[in-house]
Chain A
Amino acid sequence: MFKNKVVKFLVIGLVIVFSGYLVPLQHEISWWIVLMMVVTFGLAIGDEKYLFWICLLFLVITNLVINDLLFFRLQDGSVTFDSEQSFWKYPGIEESIQRYGEEGLIIPFRVRDIFYSSYLKFFVWLVNFSKLLSPDFWIKTIGFAGSWLLILGVIDYLKDKQKNTKFLIWFLLILASSAIRMIGSSEKFIFLALPVIFYWMFRGSNTHKGSKDYLLTVGLLLLDFLL
């Protein structure tokens, strides 16, 4: 059943991704955006370097749009960025840095300027970013079977000395731009990362462990369906 790679791709990859976890999110994102990103991804992993960087720029903009941070109004051609929903201008953060600066009076004035500056906001972004890289987030987003194959695939990919780093850059950039948003659902970004996730899961299913323990994958898949 899992010998044929195409069948593997269809059966494992597609079913895992749509085993229930992402279905509720499908209504929140237009199918044409997903299709557009697949095409963009196709262009990005080609040989043309400049095309790759253009595609990445496009990817970040699209991600900000679906995360409700960036808005385009076609009527008047205006572009707005909801900075209050981003870590940089989120209400209370600037004030807290100021408050900490005042509390830290025992530190000499010059040193205090080093410790209590706007760059501290970067830590807030880092917290968001690390959340998106955590295993429990991925289990809740693409299920047990999906996470299992993803882990196998990522390990196999990282071990590969000939690996195409564009996949990793694509994926991390999506996470990094999604972490800009402070509150609300950020799982929608998964749809932009689908090509990479598919690739890694497919790779995971082709590893020695993935092929040998395919019954485990099927078992986890059943559990995902049940949940």
Chain B
Amino acid sequence: MKQRLHPFTALTAAASAAVVTTAAAYWPLSVAVALAAVFLAVRREVAGRVLPAAAVILTPLCLSLLVLHGLFFPEGQTVLAQWGPARVTAEGLGFALELGTRTTACVLAFLLFSFTVSVPDLVSALAGRRVPPQFGFVLASTLTLLPAVSVRLDRIRQAQETRGMVVRRGLVSRLGALRLQMVPLVLALIDDAGSRAQALDARGFGSPGPRTTYREVADPPAQRRFRAAALVFAAAAVAGRIVASWPAGVPS
């Protein structure tokens, strides 16, 4: 494909899409944004990871919305069906549709960003913008730690089973086993963090002052212009929404 997007360009695009979708509150637009995100995910060959991740997040949320607003919407006027206290109203279903599609669009846009961005590029770009280096550290270190921790947890489990631990089905037994797994994990992580802090300080991480970056991230002018335009567009959408629905009770 083309050259890689600057991390900020992708981030701005995702954030603007989310803001505009939220401000517009128009379900066909939400559906369009969601479809565009899916299309781009397929083109960038990350659909196989984005879609399952989105499904895990969105399925319970959308089901919950449908049940909640579909059956119980006291503000609804147009009753379509009724069983006891539960009333299916057109307004309730519409509300669930609006919110469900809106959240779907935002989640897909952000997941598309996070599954396509190169984290080292993002960290380097952040450092170049004088964002506190601690932020980039927390982001990148978390992503390195996560796989390492699951490997470690496996090792702890094996070692403990080897010492004769049999996890039975009861809640108490499982909680007990859990405590025994957590302690070595937490202790090792905190100890490692302690020595890492000493090493980082020795390598100048804690010192104030300017920094340079070894990794270079290209930022073509066209992408800068695109970012500016996207931000202006998102700001306009927010301003439009605020003007349109400033609550009556508050002086403006």
Q: Do A and B bind each other?
A: no
